[in-house]
Amino acid sequence: MEEYTISELQEKMQEGELTSRDCVSQFLDRIAKLDQKLHSVIEINPDASEIAAHLDEERAAGKTRGVLHGIPILIKENIDTADKMQTTAGSLALAGNIAPRDAFLVEKLRKAGAVILGKTNLSEWANFRSTHSSSGWSGRGGLTRNPYALDRSACGSSSGSAVAVAANLCAAAVGTETDGSIICPSQTNGIVGIKPTLGLVSRSGIIPISHSQDTAGPMARTVADAAILLSVLSGVDENDQATTAAAEHIETDYSQYLKADGLIDARIGVSRNYWGFDPRVDRIMDHAVDLLKSLGAKIISPANVDKESKYGKSEVEVLLYEFHADVDVYLGQHPMAPVRSLKEVTAYNQKNKSKSMPYFMQERMDQAVKKGPLSRPGYRKALEKNRLLSRQGIDSALEKDHLDAIIAPTGGPAWMIDLVNGDNYNGGGFSSPAAVAGYPHITVPAGFVFGLPVGLSFFGTAWSEAKLIQFAYAFEQASQVRKPPKYLSSVDLSVPEFSW
């Protein structure tokens, strides 16, 4: 099963060489063998084999639901499933929460014939609990580890989804992002991640942080697989106003943009102000720029996008307000949740401190509980500032030089896990402008630093997923950078310092 694409699995099932139940069995075997080291899967769907068998029967009867028919997919554990699996965001405070209905994106996956294989570990509460948390740790799931070097961070908060994809524990996975939570773990674990425009994928049935920034998105080993998954995930949901407003922009098949010659005459800007935090990453990025040129792209450099320092504090302010409001709404809609409000969550954590908070506390939650309603002028002013500056920063850079997209380094190599001091993001990388703006962002493997993956980011204005997929696919096909992990205990310093 290692490195099989969705299309390859589908072809083998169509030809009778493989069944969906075979796929599920083999992925479950890999999970049993490898995930003791990785802790990327928090829960297995006990009905996965039965569901796969039913889908095999449908195929035998001449009925297939689409390109995901029988394909095993993992989803992040903050996404509701109305089955035997819990939805807790990794929190012990929510243990036992069985959702009354599937999240809209889960409904779409099931309708498309995907097998929900299980749920992935994550940074607890999607990394919005503490100011010095360690990515990939949750009270329910323990610590997710990077498969390229087990003592390195998997980043987060969609840590488990990224690691499971990188380790070939599923065909593809779904993650969620508020700011960097799809993009960072994707690049850190050597896979493709797409953070869509806000409203392309429904947010209903997902444990929230912020309705102004939250989105789910695909995480896969190839751009093609990510495009296939995005085609299924996107859609209008009557319970999510952002998707109804986006109806005219939602496409049914992003695979049509997989063009190996897709960079010819594309105008690509280079946000050079995101270079400079690591000379090895710079070398990898410079090589990527040269490759883009060789593929026919017109490179405009610099095409700098303002960094988030202009609105970093106001972003946190908005997230604190919305986290309080949105979590309370979510919990009010889930009768099996053992806690009914964010205030009750913080009280549970404090009462059960030794289990719930062994490494870091809940400063973010404590701050959020103190925030008032969303009608407060301070919240509304911060939200307006965030949207204006982030969107203006990207759009003005695009318009100034008539660009189709902009590139930047996604981030640096994975840092050492440090449960005492928390994450160290190496001081570089791109995620916040696109996240705060609600604009699309794709990361693709671009190289390695001592065997640790480094990604290249493509981003643009709202609803530019089609272009970004086209450009990312052309780059991926020409570069062929991805290498499967080797599950080393630590970094192998005998390999080249940087490579592509």
Name the catalytic one among 181, 210, 255, 464. Answer: 181
Mark whether 490 is an active-site residue: no
Q: Is residue 332 helix, strand or coil?
A: helix
C-alpha span between 492 and 499 (Å, rounded): 13
Name the burial class of residue 422, with classes exposed (0-12), middle (13-18) and buried (19+) by CB atoms within 10 angstroms of its CB: middle
Q: Is 456 left (phi over 0), alpha (psi -120 to 50) or beta?
A: beta
Structural tokens at position 123? 């940074």
Catalytic residue among 76, 119, 195, 385: 76
Rg for the chain, CA atoms, rounded: 21
Alpha carbon dihedral 18, 20, 26, 29, in 10-degree steps, equals: -160
Is 157 catalytic? The answer is: yes
Q: Report the candidate in 351, 422, 365 with the shortest Cα–Cα distance to residue 128.
A: 365
Instruction: Compute the distance between CA of residue 455 and CA of residue 448 in angstroms, rounded to an integer.
Output: 9
Q: What are phi and psi of 235, to 5 degrees?
A: 160, 160
Structure tokens at 280: 């090895």
* Catalytic, out of 40, 157, 210, 390: 157
| Active-site residue, 123 included | no
How many residues in total does the chain contain?
Answer: 500
β-strands 72-76, 172-177: how paired?
parallel
Give the span between the Cα atoms of 41 and 182, in whole angstroms: 16
Contact between 167 and 451 under an 8 Å Cβ cutoff? The reply is no
d(CA 101, CA 279): 49
**16: its two tokens:** 């009778």
Which residues form the catalytic set?
76, 157, 181
